[in-house]
Amino acid sequence: MSDAVRTAEKRMDDAARAAWLYFIGGKTQDEIAGQLDLSRQAVQRLVALAVSEKLIRFRLDHPIAACMELASRLTDRFELQFCDVIPGDAQAPGSIAGVAVAVAMRLERLLTNKAPMVLCVGTGRTMRTAVEEMDTLDRPQHKIVSLVGNMASDGHASPYDVVMRLADKLGAQRFPMPAPVITETIEDREALQGQRVFTLLSELRAQARASFVGVGEIGWNAPMHRDGFMTDADVSALAEQGAAGEITAWSFDAAGRVLQGPINDRVASLPLECPPQRLTVIAGSGPSKIVPIRAALAGHLASALVTDEATASAILSN
Amino acid sequence: MSDAVRTAEKRMDDAARAAWLYFIGGKTQDEIAGQLDLSRQAVQRLVALAVSEKLIRFRLDHPIAACMELASRLTDRFELQFCDVIPGDAQAPGSIAGVAVAVAMRLERLLTNKAPMVLCVGTGRTMRTAVEEMDTLDRPQHKIVSLVGNMASDGHASPYDVVMRLADKLGAQRFPMPAPVITETIEDREALQGQRVFTLLSELRAQARASFVGVGEIGWNAPMHRDGFMTDADVSALAEQGAAGEITAWSFDAAGRVLQGPINDRVASLPLECPPQRLTVIAGSGPSKIVPIRAALAGHLASALVTDEATASAILSN
DNA sequence: CACTTCTGCGAGCAATAGCTCAACAAAAAT
DNA sequence: ATTTTTGTTGAGCTATTGCTCGCAGAAGTG
């Protein structure tokens, strides 16, 4: 055995000793320095070494641990500003309740701020439930802006009227989008977007602090289809193009690239920002959301995620 | 489930989250506070809670870990100033080399000090080897004092001449004890102790910074007997009285009480200090030392211990 | 319903840990 | 043998953490 190796081993022994005394023995570095007859700095270096060499390991005995781990990996992998992973609820697997509460908490935290703020919202079951979970809060200074219409082209409205409900909770100013989600024709869309209100919404969005949106899958029985925003033909055409999901009706492929084509050409929602110019939170959980969320994150269509444990795990295991 | 329990659970969740971010995520408490929207102090309390509730556990992946654990338990149990536990050496089990090196390091550390110092030493194989392991060090200002004679009553000397060897290493002043370990009669001992040199040794010991001694078992083939310091009759008598071990020839029982009786009445060594008035290190390892060391520690005959992993473990499992 | 008790909070401050830098020493290269 | 390089050290400084205290709201009590 070489002398260098011996020295290195001795160093590791000392590092292990120092780390033991520090973390397990709960002593200060000064005390350890006295005990091992080293300078305090030497002890600090040994402790740092033990940590960086993984001699000392931290283990968290709590269900939250797995969630934190997943959240951390998602944040790193997709460069997110934050990621909330809700522990899988044994009582109600597949329920969106947990995720909705987490979104509600994020909304409350943000909106508690007294400085006037513009907040954009999408639609969907998760967003709607999240708003219901929120406490009422008196914030008339805020502005709630819809990123997406809530009518089908036949004029009937989706029940997920997120802007209005959220603005009600706050007593805030509301800016719904008086338009279908997807128009009948490209001309219809162009006509709509020529209107004053669209310019206003666009300007408001530019000032917005954050956007909170759901994420949907593309397929039969997907919300977009079930609620009549998309026809059977639309769904088929999108599937053909490799659509992996949609946010505020904008369909994108598995890499998160917004699709070019006859359906997106008729989407009246405010355009997706890629990369996001402000905090952009997507929320969703369940097996059907795995592919859409993964795609949206891969394409940097969002800068934050709220989901549950099972979904988070599945998103990472591709 | 009561509301109080829910709140407590929520608190633990938060504590777990904070602890995860702090220890595993490596973030500062300030960053965590921002992320969880709490004050820094709240985060510090949560982290402390997680530690105190053992939500977060530290594990050291290194052979030293077991030694540190044993050392810590011994230090607590017997109120020691320090305890060095040397990792069990798979190559040389039962060897005293490791322990001797550790004692040598302790001696070097202490004696490196430039301020003049008095150091008392006992005898024995471990002490002798320890001194051999030491580097030479120029410290003529120190004084090395023997706690024990090194002659049998027939006049032949033990080969473990620790004082002289140690003083040689240091160029230090030496104060051997010119006497048998155990005298023939009580009168002999009294005569010896009336001599000027005994008073001097006593005074020196009173000024000593530390004592380093070995610990011996009582029985046939024990060093005291093999080297002729004790007769067969002495050993039998001591065994009868429940002797569990000896330090500088003073025999004590399993509770560490120094025995009263015809053998200790003839011991010429300086008396044991109980409780020790200075750092008093006992060193030893091996199956035969388990009982003597345990007894010595139980009776607070020493304030520090150097031993090996197997012996430490055995001392604790009684 | 008023009052007391108690828990938990944040501010401020003291203690502890981490970082940077200049100096030095050992190893490598010339 | 001398110079260069590389790595290690402790001092000094800054950032981070932990502790104490007074206060405020919740819980309990007469």
My answer on whether B145 and B41 are in the same domain is: no
Cβ partners under 8 Å of residue A149, min gap 6: A177, A178, A179, A180, A181, A268, A269
Minimum-distance CB partner of B60 among A35, A56, A72: A56
Same domain, A139 and A43: no
- A17 CB neighbours in chain B (<8 A) are 64, 68
Per the domain annotation, does A242 fall within a domain?
yes
Residue A161 domain flag: yes
Determine the protein residue whose CA lies at the shortest distance from the C1' of C11: B41
Nucleotide showing the shortest C1' distance to residue B4 CA: D27
- Co-location of A301 and A261 in the same domain: yes
Closest nucleotide (C1' vs CA) to B32 is D16
Angle of helix A309-316 versus helix A290-298 axis, rounded to 10 = 60
A209 and A74 part of one domain: yes
CA of B30 vs chain A CAs: smallest distance (Å): 16
Q: Is the pLDDT of residue B3 over 80?
A: no
Tell if the CB–CB gap between A64 and B23 is shorter than 8 Å: no
B5 vs B217, residue with greater confidence: B217
The pLDDT tens digits along chain A (318 residues) read 444 455 666 778 888 888 999 998 889 898 898 888 888 898 998 998 888 888 888 988 888 889 999 999 999 999 999 899 998 765 555 567 789 989 998 898 888 888 899 999 999 899 999 998 888 888 899 999 999 987 766 666 666 689 999 999 999 999 999 888 888 899 999 998 899 999 999 999 999 999 999 999 998 888 888 877 888 888 999 999 999 999 999 999 999 999 998 899 999 999 999 899 999 999 999 999 999 999 999 999 999 999 999 999 999 987
Do residue B148 and residue B269 come from a single domain? Answer: yes
β-strand partners of A122: none
A58 inside domain: no
Contact list, B54 vs chain A (CB under 8 Å): 61
Which of B28, B52, B76 delimits the end of a domain?
B52
Tens-place pLDDT, residues B47-92: 988 888 888 889 888 888 899 999 999 999 999 998 999 987 655 5
The token pair at A281 is 């939170």
**In a domain? residue B190:** yes
Q: How far apart are CA A197 and CA B143, in angstroms?
A: 96
- Cα–Cα distances (Å) from B77 to A153, B81, B88, B246, in that order, read 80, 11, 21, 21
Residues of chain B found within 8 Å of residue A13, distances taken between Cβ atoms? 62, 64
Mean pLDDT lowest for which of B36-50, B86-100, B212-226? B86-100
pLDDT band at B2 (very low <50, low <70, confident <90, very high): very low
Q: Does one domain contain both B27 and B88?
A: no
Looking at residue B137, its pLDDT comes to: 83
Mark whether A152 and A191 lie in a shared domain: yes
Q: Which residue of B has its CA nearest to A9?
A: B62
Asked if pLDDT for residue B301 goes beyond 90, the answer is yes
Residue B233 scores a pLDDT above 70:
yes
Residue in A16, A24, A35 nearest the CB of B82 = A35
Answer whether residue B295 shows pLDDT above 90.
yes
| Inside any domain, residue A213 | yes
| B41 and B189 co-located in one domain | no
Torsion of CA A88, A89, A95, A100, to 10 degrees: -80
Whether A57 maps to a domain, the answer reads: no
Tell whether A31 and A92 lie within a shared domain: no
**Confidence check: pLDDT of B316 > 90:** yes
Are residues A144 and A289 part of one domain?
yes
Query: Does the structure show a pLDDT above 90 at B217?
Result: yes
CATH number for the domain that contains residue B270: 3.40.50.1360
Domain span at B153? 64-316
A59, B60: Cβ pair inside 8 Å?
no
The stretch B303-311 carries a mean pLDDT of 95
pLDDT in tens, A95-119: 677 899 899 988 988 888 888 999 9
Nearest-by-CA chain A residue for B32: A82
Domain count, chain B: 2
For residue B21, being part of any structural domain is answered with yes
Nucleotides on strand C lying under 7 Å from protein C-beta: 9-12, 15-20
Block residue for tokens 């044994």: A90
Residues A180 and A139 in one domain: yes
User: Which nucleotide has its C1' atom closest to residue A41's CA?
Assistant: D10
Return the CATH number at B46: 1.10.10
Tokens 């025999």 belong to residue:
B251
Q: Give the pLDDT of residue A280.
A: 97
Residues 55-74 on A with a CB inside 8 Å of B are: 55-62, 64-65, 68-69, 72
Is there a single domain that holds both residue B34 and residue B123?
no
